[in-house]
Structure 1
Amino acid sequence: MLIITIKQGKEKSLLAGDPFIYASAVEKVDGKPNEKMKAGGTAIVQSSSQKFLARAAYNSKSQIRARVWTFDENEPVDHALIKRRVKAALEKSAAAASKARPDQIVKRIHAEADLLPGLLVEQFGGKDGYLICQFQSAGADAWKVPIVQALMAETGCKNVYERADELVRKGEGLPVVAGALAGDEPPDEVWVDQDGVRMSTDPKTGFQRPFRRF
């Protein structure tokens, strides 16, 4: 198990609930070399006096060295936690999803706001449509398979696609990959209603272009 020790005085932001641990706040990281190099591995975060602060996903290649999963010492980071967090996030956005028309995009998971650091999920086309995921942190990337499994189980949607933000992924030291994670790839172009404006959208990239009459 990795152990991240925070510099004296730098633990204040964590005690206030900040989920980000920057490189400048880290005093040392203890653990086996292969654990330190594994992007997204779970680490215990402690103060300089060895007081438990959090469990977090560690990434030696990012300026955000770790992203907090939980501040609860009794809550392990495992498949059950991922399943709970995905289910809770989807329940929060269920009302919007149920009211959405097939041509509307609904944001289903909002990263840290839903206690799933670095994970963004959008849905369009309803149950028979597509879930578009972005794994923008090493922690989310490391739990990709159980995240996708939980998404499919909770929504009933069989088509899950990974969109890659090149700048973000490279900044995290992650490979820039995109493609279907389950089911079929979305089409290159769909027409969606974005706040009352009809937009041509590429679900694979997120690029949008407003409809114009000539």
Structure 2
Amino acid sequence: MLIITIKQGKEKAILAGDPWIYLSAISRIDGKFEERIKPGGTALVRSSSGQFLARASWSPKSQIRARVWTLDEKEAVDHAMIKRRVQTALAKTQPRKTSSTSPQRLINGEADQLPGLLVDHYGQNPGYLVCQFQAAGVDAWKVTIVKSLIAETACPNVYEHADSMIRAGEGLPINSGALAGDEPPLEYEIG
């Protein structure tokens, strides 16, 4: 497993709830070469004294090298956790039943404990779900996220919109297109 050791004094931000771990806060990275270059892998984050701080998604090419998934040492980063997080976020707001072409935000990244994920709903039910996977961690869990979105909303149309600048900064490929079902019509301004 990849282990990130934080510089002395920099753990305060993590413990205060800051979900981003910048390159400048990292003292050392331990793990196999394959783990160090794999975007989206889960890393164990510890203090300079070796104390557990968090589990985070690793992004080897971003200035934000890791994004915190959990501060709970017992919480595993797995399919069940991702599904729970999607369910919890969607329980706050369900897709509206209007014909508006303006989006309704369903998942808002760090605020919903899914760092780097934005999901908007367009149109009438079932409508279209437009996702932005803006970080390596959520990109690595894309299939699980899409399946969970479909199961929870009954919306069969899931589209990925890639912000080229953000994904390039994360070292991720720039892809846009349907992940399930149909692409949204041109009348929706996706951006």
Fraction of identical pairs, as percent: 63
Q: Which moved more, 1:125-134 or 1:61-70?
A: 125-134
Given the two structures, how large is their TM-score scaled by the length of structure 2? 0.97
CA positional deviation for 1:125: 1.8
Partner of 1:88: 88
Q: Cα deviation per residue 1:105-125 (whole Å; 9 max; x = unaligned)?
A: 210000000000000000012
Is 1:30 the equivalent of 2:30?
yes
SS of residue paired to 1:34: helix
Partner of 1:136: 134
Query: 1:43-62 maps to which residues of 2 (within 5 A)?
Result: 43-62=43-62
Distance (Å, rounded) in 2 between the aligned partners of 1:127 and 1:81: 27
CA positional deviation for 1:21: 0.3
Distance (Å, rounded) in 1 between the aligned partners of 2:53 and 2:108: 24
Tell me which amino acid in the other structure corresponds to 1:50: G
SS of residue paired to 1:77: coil
Is 1:170 the equivalent of 2:168?
yes
Is 1:108 the equivalent of 2:106?
yes
CA positional deviation for 1:189: 1.9
Structure with larger RCO (C-alpha < 8 A, sep 6+): 2
Partner of 2:72: 72
Supply the RMSD in Å over aligned alpha carbons: 1.0
Instruction: Mark the structure with the bigger radius of gyration.
Output: 1
Q: Cα deviation per residue 1:148-204 (whole Å; 9 max; x = unaligned)?
A: 0000000000000000101100011111111000011111224xxxxxxxxxx2x3x
Distance (Å, rounded) in 2 between the aligned partners of 1:172 and 1:159: 26
CA positional deviation for 1:126: 3.2
Distance (Å, rounded) in 1 between the aligned partners of 2:146 and 2:17: 27
Give structure 2 stretches of 5+ with no counterpart.
none
**Matched length:** 190
Distance (Å, rounded) in 2 between the aligned partners of 1:68 and 1:127: 33
Tell me which amino acid in the other structure corresponds to 2:39: A
CA positional deviation for 1:102: 1.9
Distance (Å, rounded) in 2 between the aligned partners of 1:25 and 1:105: 36
Give structure 1 stretches of 5+ with no counterpart.
191-200, 207-214
Given the two structures, how large is their TM-score scaled by the length of structure 1? 0.87
